C-alpha cells in the first residue's frame, strides 16, 4: 500500500484474503492468521497449513524460539506446540 503525506492509504494489495483477528510472524517470515482456525502462509502468501484450535482464536503470538504458539479466545488462553 501507499501512504501519502497526510497519512491516507491507497493502492492496497492483499497478502491473503483471511484475517479477521490477530496475526503473528515466525523467524522465517511465515505469517500466522487467526480467522476461525489459524492459517499459516509463507512470505509470498502461499498457503502452508491450517492449525485447528479448540476455540475460535482472537489473538496469537509465537514464542521467541518458534516452538510455541500462544492463543487467546473469547474465554481462554492456551498454547500449541509448533
Distance in angstroms (rounded) separating the CA atoms of residues 14 and 65: 28
First to last CA, the chain: 31
3-state secondary structure of 3: strand
Task: Report the chain's mean pLDDT, rounded to a whole number.
Answer: 92
Q: Kindly report, residue by residue over 56-80, the tens digit of the pLDDT.
A: 999 999 999 999 999 999 999 999 9
Distance in angstroms (rounded) separating the CA atoms of residues 46 and 41: 5
> Whole-structure pTM over 0.75, yes or no?
yes
Domains of the chain: 18-81 (2.40.10.500)
Amino acid at each position: 500500500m501507499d501512504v501519502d503525506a497526510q497519512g491516507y492509504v491507497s493502492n492496497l494489495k492483499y497478502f491473503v484474503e483471511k484475517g479477521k483477528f490477530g496475526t503473528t510472524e515466525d523467524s522465517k517470515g511465515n505469517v500466522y492468521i487467526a480467522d476461525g482456525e489459524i492459517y499459516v502462509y509463507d512470505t509470498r502468501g502461499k498457503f502452508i497449513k491450517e492449525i485447528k484450535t479448540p476455540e475460535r482464536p482472537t489473538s496469537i503470538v509465537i514464542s521467541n524460539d518458534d516452538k510455541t504458539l500462544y492463543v487467546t479466545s473469547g474465554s481462554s488462553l492456551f498454547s500449541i506446540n509448533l
